[in-house]
Amino acid sequence: MNENGRLCLPLLLDGATGTQYMKAGMPSGVCVEQWASEHPEVIRQVVCGYADAGSDIVYAPTFLANAGSLAAYGLEGQVSALNRKIVGIAREALDGRASAKLAGDMSTTGLMCEPFGEVPFARLLEIYDEQAQALSEAGVDLLVIETMSSLSECRAAVISARKTGLPIFLSMTANGEGRTMWGDDILASMLILQDMGISAFGLNCSEGPDDMVSLFERIAPYAKVPLIAKPNSGNPPLTPIQFSDRCARLMRRGVSIIGGCCGTDPEYIAALRHMVDNFDVEKVRIKPVDYEILAAARDVYYLDNGLEYSEPITCEMDMADALLEVSHESCDAVLIRLDTPDDGYQFSLNAHMVDMPVAFESESLEALENALLHYHGKALVVSTSCALEKEELELVAARYGATVL
C-alpha cells in the first residue's frame, strides 16, 4: 500500500502464527492472545521473521481478541487492553522495517446470530466495534478479517471495520465445493461483501493451494476488488519451493495478494517473495462476467431488466407461510414492504425461508436502512413505485451493497 492507503499489487502477506507460537512453547488450551501478550519476545520473533522474509503486510496476533471469543477465558473485559498491548509490541518490533505494514487481525466471535442462535446482529456489531476501534487506536495500518465461515459475522465485522476508515482485507474459509462451515457460498459472499467497502477479498486456511485453484477460477470473473489467497501448506505438507510454485497457479487465476496459513513459516514466505518478485500480474487477464443485475444470499441469482416481483409482503413476527407461498409463484423476486424500522428486523428472522432474490420497497429511509443492515444478502431496492428520490435510495443502498432498480 502506498501512503494514501491504495494497494500496490502484488502484495505478499505473512505465514502462520499459531503453529509458530506452538513451536515457541505455547501450550494447548490457553488463550492465544493472552499468552502472546505475556511473551512479547515471541511476538517480536514471529513478526520480524516474516518481515525479514519479505512480507509486505504482517498480521498482529489479535485474531480472537474480541469479547465473544475472550469470554471463554473470562477475559471479555480485556479487549481494548489486549489489542493495544499486542499491537504495541508488534509495532515496536517492526520499527526500522518501513516496508512492512502492520495489520490488525480480526476473526470469529464464536457466537451464533439470530435466527439460528440467540445473539442479535446488533450484539455482533458491538463486539466488532470494540475490537476494530481498539486496533485502530493502537495504530495498525489496515484491518484483516480472516478465517471467517459465517456471512452474518463477515457483514458485522465489515460494518464495524468501516468506521475506522482503514483499508479492510477479508478472507473466508471454505471446502472444496466453495461452501463455508455454515453453508454460505463463497461466490455469493464475495458479491455481497465486495460492494460493502472492503479493499480485498479471498480465501485462507482449510485448503492447500491446489485445492483453491477451482474456487478462484469460479470467483475471479466476478471480482471488483483484488483477490487474496492464504492457503495451508498442504496435506502432506509441500516444501517451500513446491508451495510457491502452486501459489503461482493461484496468481495466474487472478490472485494478487498471497501468503501462507497453517504450517507455513518464514522459509515459505521467502520462497513466495522470490516468486512474487518475478511474477507479472499485469499479464493476467480474467474475462469479467457481463451480467448487469446480480442478487445474492446463500446462492447467486442472475436477473434481467424485465424481472417480475411478487405481490408486496408485509413484515410480521411469523412470515413463514407468506414466504413459502411466494416460493411457488412464477416471479423473479420476493417483494418485501417496509413500513417501520422494525420491519427489517422482523424480516431478517424469516429471511432463511426465501429461496429467491429479495427486493425491498419503502417510503422510509430509516426502515430501508434497518432492513438492509439486517439482511445478510445482496438485495434489490425498488424505486419505481416509491416517492423517495432514487439518489436518496442509492446512498442508503450503497452502504450495504444493494442494487437500486
| Other Cβ atoms within 10 Å of 374 Cβ, number | 23
SS (H, E, C) 288-316: CCCCCEEEECCCEEEECCCCCECCCEECC
Of 215, 252, 220, the C-alpha closest to 231 is 215
Q: Which of the residue ranges 12-21, 60-69, 112-121, 382-391 would you say has the lowest mean pLDDT? A: 382-391
In which band, very low, low, confident or very high, does the pLDDT at 3 lie, cut at 50, 70 and 90?
A: low
Identify the structural domains of the chain with CATH numbers, from first to last. Answer: 11-283 (3.20.20.330), 293-404 (3.20.20.20)
Listed in order, strand segments (DSSP E) in 321-375 are 334-338, 358-362
Please write the tens of the pLDDT for every residue from 319-344: 989 998 887 788 999 999 999 999 99
pLDDT at 404 over 90: yes
In which band, very low, low, confident or very high, does the pLDDT at 2 lie, cut at 50, 70 and 90?
A: low
Please write the tens of the pLDDT for every residue from 75-94: 999 999 999 999 999 999 99
Q: Please give the share of the chain, as a percent, with pLDDT higher than 70.
A: 98
CA-based torsion, 256, 261, 264, 267: positive or negative: positive
Backbone angles phi, psi at 147, to 5 degrees: 55, 45
Structure pTM?
0.95
Q: What is the mean pLDDT of the chain?
A: 95
Interval 22-46 mean pLDDT: 97
Listed in order, strand segments (DSSP E) in 44-100 are 57-60
C-beta separation of 366 from 395 below 8 A? no
Query: Which pLDDT score, from 0 to 100, does residue 6 have?
Result: 58
Interval 31-43 mean pLDDT: 98
C-beta separation of 21 from 14 below 8 A? no
Separation in Å, CA 343 to CA 219, 313, 336, 370: 33, 11, 9, 8
Query: Which pLDDT score, from 0 to 100, does residue 345 have?
Result: 96
Please write the tens of the pLDDT for every residue from 253-270: 999 999 999 999 999 999
Instruction: Kindly report the length of the chain.
Output: 405
Query: Which pLDDT score, from 0 to 100, does residue 327 have?
Result: 78
Cα angle 352, 123, 147 (rounded to 5 degrees) comes to 70
- Radius of gyration, CA atoms only, the chain: 22
What counts of helices (H) and strands (E) characterise the chain? 15, 15
Cβ-based burial of 120 (10 A; exposed 0-12, middle 13-18, buried ≥19): middle
Of 6, 5, 9, 2, the C-alpha closest to 229 is 9
Eight-class DSSP state of 16: -
> Grid coordinates 519476545 are at which residue?
41
- Measured distance CA(359)–CA(335) in Å, rounded: 5
